[in-house]
Every structure is written in structure tokens, then in C-alpha cells.
Amino acid sequence: MLVFDKLYIGGHWTTPATGEILTVRSPHDQTVVGTAPHAAPADVDRAVAAARTAFDDGPWPRMSPEERQAVVARLSKLHSARADELAALVTAENGSPIWFTGWTHHTGVPEQNDSYLRAAAALDWEAQVGGTGTARTLLRREAVGVVAAIIPWNAPHQSALVKLVPALLAGCTVILKASPETALDALALAQVLDEAGLPEGVVSVLPAGRETSEYLVSHPDVDKIAFTGSTAAGRRIAAIAGEQLKRVSLELGGKSASIVLEDADLESTVAGLKAVSLGNNAESCIAHTRILVPRTRYEEFVAALKTMMEVIVVGDPAAPETFIGPMVRPDQLERVRGYIRIGIEEGARLVTGGLEPIDGLEGGNYVRPTLFADVDNSMRIAREEVFGPVLVVIPFDDEADAVRIANDSEYGLGGGVWGADPKHALEVARLIRAGWMTVNGAPATPDGSFGGYKNSGIGREFGAVGLNQYLEYKTIGI
């Protein structure tokens, strides 16, 4: 069992303000993975004060961009050196399968970090943009200030570093607020940050629940909120930030649609849908949980999706053969089961899965991967984010109808188009109001941007676009 008894505040391991403890239990069998302090508002006050002093008077914002880049590059290298250990810890805490956490820590996070480093190296931090006669105009990019980074439990290190790295490169100071479910890996990340050699006050790491989060968001000495989580929580954060005119970036929920075109290859499309729809237990904002299929090929694809979902290995997330592990908490399991009940009540056809427990896994938060057919886009299972392995297949008449259905959503985070002609599939993808699209499952690099339209958020992450979320612009006429 892993035990932390201190919080990481301003670069120091510090005794917490209260004796409240977070107990992290395995979603696989409910055993205790470890314990960590629960940060209280008093801990937030100490962390924000340290960050404020470090930003206003410390060396970090005043270092050259190249000096900050060297520290962040060292941080990324140290993090990669512990990839196996950190991946296993996240799997134990939140039930993400080891194939996913392994890929995230070995490949996804390093590529993400490198995209930010490339962007920072290429950025004109101060540039002359115009002038006439003896006058000049300078455009400067400066750090936004003290950042509160609030992250979820489903991909905790990816979510943390997608905010920490650009904020640090910009010269900001950061308070990272981690979820209670993944408190242990958050403090393990603090160990890496400590080893990287950041100046005093630059980073704090606080695992805590909703009450402490709201206190941090409303703190008057925080300049920017960077949040990943539910749309409901994002609305609350935006309201608080709006009252104080804080800068805010929000990466929120999704109900992404994958459009299967008439000429799509059955086998490769279904294999691709397995990855983009059910990866990380489908506890993913970007999961393609609405599958749009032409009526002429509808039953063919429903049958193939049924076969795919029935042979998926569900079980111990630490086992390499497991594709889907448990839901993170018992209440999340009940939420997913609730949506399965709703789908049945709404009249959708339950093709596979359902409410029956899985033999041998009754002690964990396990749900059967579930597929619904004969779904109308007005049904709740087609409109609301389930955050679990529940897919719906919706028929369409022609491509215009498919585009209309895909865009008929309050969300606009991701989606895909599948077809034999990639150029034509790209034309269709351009019509979808979503921020992260794929054609035939092709991965997009983090040199692009990640974020959503509509209720899927405000702002973007990754690369140069993500770095700019942590910068203010100053024009100086000389």
C-alpha cells in the first residue's frame, strides 16, 4: 500500500492543514491502493500565496524562454523514466487498462510535451510587428500569471501535463488540483516535479474534492483557471471566473459521432471503432459513442459491432490481455447501468450487453460492453454523455442526413468519418462542428490543437495553440 502523509506546496513537502485522509480503493476488487492527505482551503491559501510570490517576485517568469524550456525538457525526461511505474499506479487507482496507461505514459505524454517544447522554441516572445519613420511597434507575449489547473481522474497525468507544461513554458506558476480518485499518482507526479528543479513556489500539487476545488477557483489571487471535466462543472467554473474576469480554458464533455460512409470497409472500420469508441473503458470525453450507419448497410454493421463487443476481454485492468477494465467508482457503475435502463425504456434494441453482472467480476465496478440499435438521435442515450462502454447505432438516409445528425448535439468535441475514399471522407469531416476529427481512425499529432465547440468547452490544448492559452499579449509603441 502506498502512503503519502504530506502535500507538495510551493516546492516543499508540507504537513497538511487538517488530518483528513483520502483512501484510494481499487475499482477492480475494492482493496486499498493507498492513502493521501485531503487538501483543505487552508492548504489552497498556502499554495496560492507561494505561487503569487513566485510569480510577482521570483525568478521563474523572468528567466529566458530557453532557460524555462531546459527545465521543462528535464521534467519530461524524468517523467518518461518512471513511465512503467506511473502507468501501473494509475491503472490500480482508476481501473484504466494497462495497455492504455502504458501507451499514455510511454508515447502520448512525451509526444504532447515535445509539441509544447517545439512551439515554445519557435515562438517570437518579443517581435517588432510594424512601425513608420522613427516609431516602432513591439508585440510581447507574457505569462498570464498564477494558474489553477484542475484535472479529472480518467487520464490524470495526460490531463495534468497538458496544462502544467505550457503554463510553465509561458512563465506561469501553477497549483495543480487533482481528483480524489487519483490522489496517489498526483503526489507521485509531485516527486517528479520536485526532482526537475523548479524554483520555490512555482508548483503545488493538491488532491482534493469539489469543495476545495471551488475555493481554489474563486481565490482572488488566481489569474487563470484551466479545467478538464464535466460540462456541468465547467459551467460553474465559468460562472465564478466570469464574476472575477479571470482567464479560463475548459475542456469538457462530448457525445462524438462517427459517420460510416456507404463505401466503408466493414472489417477495418469496426476495428477502428473499437479503439476510438471503447478505449480507456469509454470513460473518455472524446469517445465516439454515436455510430452513424447508412440504412443500406445498417444490419451488417450492427452485427459486426455486436461480434466485436462480445469478444472484448473485460477484467483485471493490470492484465495485458484486458481491453476494458472496471468503472472508476461504484456510483459511476450505477450511472452507466442507469443509462442502459434508460435505453431499454426508450425503446432502443438491446443488441448485446445489458445489466447482468459479469461472472467472476462481481467484486469490482464492472459493466458489460453494451450496444443499442434502432436508436433515434432524440433519445437520451444518443444525447447525454454516459462515460462508459455504451454505444448506440443510428441509421441515416444519405450523407447530408448523417451530417445533420452528427451536428445535432449540444456537444462538439470529436468525431470521425470512415470511407474507402479518404479525400471524400475528409470533405465530410470538414462539415462536422467538432474540434478533434479523424478520417478512418488516423491519429492526429499534438502539434494541432485539442478542444471542442459548443458545450464541449472553451479554448484549446496542445502545441502552439495550447501554449497561447497561458500568454497575455502586450503591444508597446516606441
Query: Any idea what the Cα angle at residue 413 is, between residues 236 and 171, rounded to 5°?
Result: 65
Residue 119's pLDDT band (cuts 50, 70, 90): very high
Considering the domain architecture, whether residues 238 and 304 belong to the same structural domain is answered as no
Q: Predicted confidence band at 453 (pLDDT cuts at 50, 70, 90)?
A: very high
The x, y and z cell numbers of residue 145, run together, are: 500569471
What mean pLDDT comes out for the span 188-214? 97
In a domain, 283, yes or no: yes
86 and 233, same domain (yes or no)? yes
Q: Give the pLDDT confidence of 339-365 residue by residue, as tens digits.
A: 999 999 999 999 999 999 999 999 999
Phi, psi (5° rounding) for residue 152?
A: -90, -175
Q: Residue 36: pLDDT band by 50, 70, 90 thresholds?
A: very high
- Residues 176 and 88 occupy one common structural domain: yes
- Threshold 0.95, pTM exceeds: yes
**Does 336 lie in the same domain as 217?**
no
Output the pLDDT for position 131. 74
CA dihedral for 296, 298, 299, 300, sign (positive or negative): positive
Does residue 194 sit in the same domain as residue 343?
Answer: no
Asked if the model's pLDDT at residue 195 lies above 90, the reply is: yes
Q: Rounded to the nearest 10 degrees, what angle do helices 399-407 and 422-429 cross at?
A: 40
Closest CA to 184 of 35, 82, 84, 44: 35
State whether 339 and 367 are in the same domain: yes
CATH number, domain at 429? 3.40.309.10
- The span from the CA of 315 to the CA of 363, in Å, is 11
Number of residues assigned to the chain? 478
Res 162: pLDDT: 98
Supply the CATH number for residue 181's domain: 3.40.605.10
Are 48 and 129 in the same domain? Answer: yes
Q: Is the pLDDT of residue 171 over 80?
A: yes
451 in any annotated domain = no
Q: How many domains does the chain have?
A: 2
Residues forming the active site? 251, 285
Query: Parallel, antiparallel, or unpaired: how do β-strands 32-37 and 256-260 relate?
Result: unpaired
Does residue 315 come out as left (phi exceeding 0), alpha (psi in the -120 to 50 range) or beta? left
246 shares its domain with 383: no
- Are 201 and 10 within 8 A, CB to CB? yes
What is the chain's mean pLDDT, rounded?
A: 97
Confidence of residue 366 (pLDDT cuts 50, 70, 90): very high
Q: What is the mean pLDDT of residues 419-448?
A: 97
Cα–Cα distances (Å) from 427 to 238, 288, 477, in that order, read 34, 19, 44
Mean pLDDT of 433-444: 97
Return phi, psi of residue 410, to 5°. -75, -10
Is the separation of the CB atoms in 321 and 328 below 8 Å? no
Q: Cell 469539489 sits at which residue? A: 210
Asked if residue 315 and residue 346 are part of one domain, the reply reads: yes
Is there a single domain that holds both residue 51 and residue 198? Answer: yes
Q: What are the start-end ranges of the H helices in 107-202?
A: 109-122, 156-170, 183-196
Please tell me the predicted confidence (pLDDT) of residue 46: 98
Is 176 domain-assigned?
yes
Check residue 130 and give its pLDDT.
81
In our burial notation (b when 16+ CB lie closer than 10 A, e otherwise), range 243-278 reads eeebbbbbbbbbbbbbbbbeebeeeebbebbbebbb
Q: Is residue 450 part of a domain?
A: no
Assigned domain for 426 exists: yes
261 is in which domain, residue-wise?
A: 256-445
Residue 49 sits at the vertex; the CA angle it makes with 45 and 52, to the nearest 5 degrees, is: 140
pLDDT digit string, tens, across residues 225-264:
999 999 999 999 999 999 999 999 999 999 999 999 999 9
Residue 286 domain flag = yes
Residue 428 lies in a domain: yes
In contact, 461 and 449? CB cutoff 8 Å: yes
387 falls within a domain: yes
Residue 471 is inside which H or E element, if any?
strand 471-477
Do 264 and 224 lie in one domain? The reply is no
174 with 227, same domain: the answer is: yes
* pLDDT tens string 271-320: 999 999 999 999 999 999 999 999 999 999 999 999 999 999 999 999 99
Q: Are 315 and 361 in contact (CB under 8 A)?
A: yes
| Residue 132: pLDDT over 80 | no
Give the C-alpha separation, 280 to 260, whole Å: 22
For the stretch 472-476, contacts whose Cβ atoms lie closer than 8 Å and that sit 24 or more positions apart, written own/partner, are 472/141, 472/142, 472/143, 472/144, 473/139, 473/140, 473/141, 473/142, 474/139, 474/140, 474/141, 474/142, 475/129, 475/137, 475/138, 475/139, 475/140, 476/137, 476/138, 476/140
